[in-house]
Amino acid sequence: GAGVSQSPSNKVTEKGKDVELRCDPISGHTALYWYRQSLGQGLEFLIYFQGNSAPDKSGLPSDRFSAERTGGSVSTLTIQRTQQEDSAVYLCASSSLAGANVLTFGAGSRLTVL
Amino acid sequence: EDQVTQSPEALRLQEGESSSLNCSYTVSGLRGLFWYRQDPGKGPEFLFTLYSAGEEKEKERLKATLTKKESFLHITAPKPEDSATYLCAVQASYSSASKIIFGSGTRLSIRP
């Protein structure tokens, strides 16, 4: 596609439920990043993919968070047993190179945990 | 530990009043420093990449500069449409994982 597409754009869930957030990167971009942005805050690094592998998972906040990428394209971020502190905007970005590279971001998925 | 600190947190200017935003960084070998603009409800949008101390980049009313410890985003004669949050990010050269770390941003507001 022309840009990075994220879905859903908004998700409201109850505490304890699992959620899946999807990212469809720009075609041909090999690098994919997930970030979390809490209200009024900067971007918190979660995970990075190069192709289908994730060399850096250091930013995942807990074992309730996981992510996968298939076919070098679509990525899914899964949060199990959601907590209120998981409420944030989850941003996905993709890039064509693993070097000093420019990220193209999606519009984000806003997650609200009640 | 790699770190990015931006100041001020918020800045309110009158239209036409020039100023600068600061980004201080600590990283073991810099592969690149990036500036992004973020409008409310949207993802960040790329502005500049700087690679080495002394480098400068310009785009319309914005100019980014880089030293060994910090970067500045200079805004000359700003207009209300320049109001946004400006984010600074760094990528370390040692990291094969290409992790990109962002600062918390500066919220810029330009009054007509």
Question: Could you give the CA distance from residue A38 to residue B112 in angstroms, rounded to a whole number?
Answer: 29
**Domain harbouring A68, CATH code:** 2.60.40.10
Selection from B71, B51, B54 nearest residue B62 by Cα: B71
Say if strands B45-50 and B106-111 run parallel, antiparallel, or are unpaired.
unpaired
Residue A61: is its pLDDT beyond 90? yes
User: Residues A8-42: pLDDT tens digits?
Assistant: 999 999 999 999 999 999 998 888 999 999 987 78
Give the mean pLDDT of B25-35.
89
Q: Give me the residue label for tokens 């530990």.
A: B1
**Domain harbouring B29, CATH code:** 2.60.40.10
Cβ-Cβ contacts under 8 Å, B99 against chain A: 45, 48, 56, 58-59
Q: Tell me what pLDDT residue B30 has.
A: 86
pLDDT grade, residue A99 (50/70/90)?
Answer: very low
The parent domain of residue B15 ranges over 3-111
pLDDT grade, residue A109 (50/70/90)?
Answer: very high
Query: What is the distance in angstroms between the CA of the first residue and the CA of the last residue of chain A?
Result: 33
Nearest to B32 among A4, A33, A100 (CB): A100
Establish if B3 touches chain A: CB-CB under 8 angstroms: no
For the record, the structure tokens of A55 come out as 């060399």
> Are B43 and A107 within 8 A, CB to CB?
yes
Cβ-Cβ contacts under 8 Å, B96 against chain A: 55
Helix (H) / strand (E) element for A16: namely none
Question: Could you give the CA distance from residue B105 to residue B10 in angstroms, rounded to a whole number?
Answer: 8
Residue A100: is its pLDDT beyond 60? no
DSSP letter, residue B82: G
Question: Could you give the CA distance from residue B60 to residue B46 in angstroms, rounded to a whole number?
Answer: 14
Q: Which of B57, B71, B99 to mutate to test the interface with A (most CBs of A within 10 A)?
A: B99
Give the mean pLDDT of B5-19.
97
Give the mean pLDDT of A61-71.
94
Per DSSP, which regions of chain A are E strands? 5-7, 10-13, 19-24, 31-37, 43-50, 53-56, 65-69, 75-79, 88-95, 104-105, 109-113
Question: Could you give the CA distance from residue A70 to residue A53 in angstroms, rounded to a whole number?
Answer: 9
Give the mean pLDDT of B37-52.
94
The parent domain of residue A53 ranges over 30-96
DSSP letter, residue A15: T
Q: Tell me what pLDDT residue B33 has.
A: 94
What total number of domains does chain B contain?
1
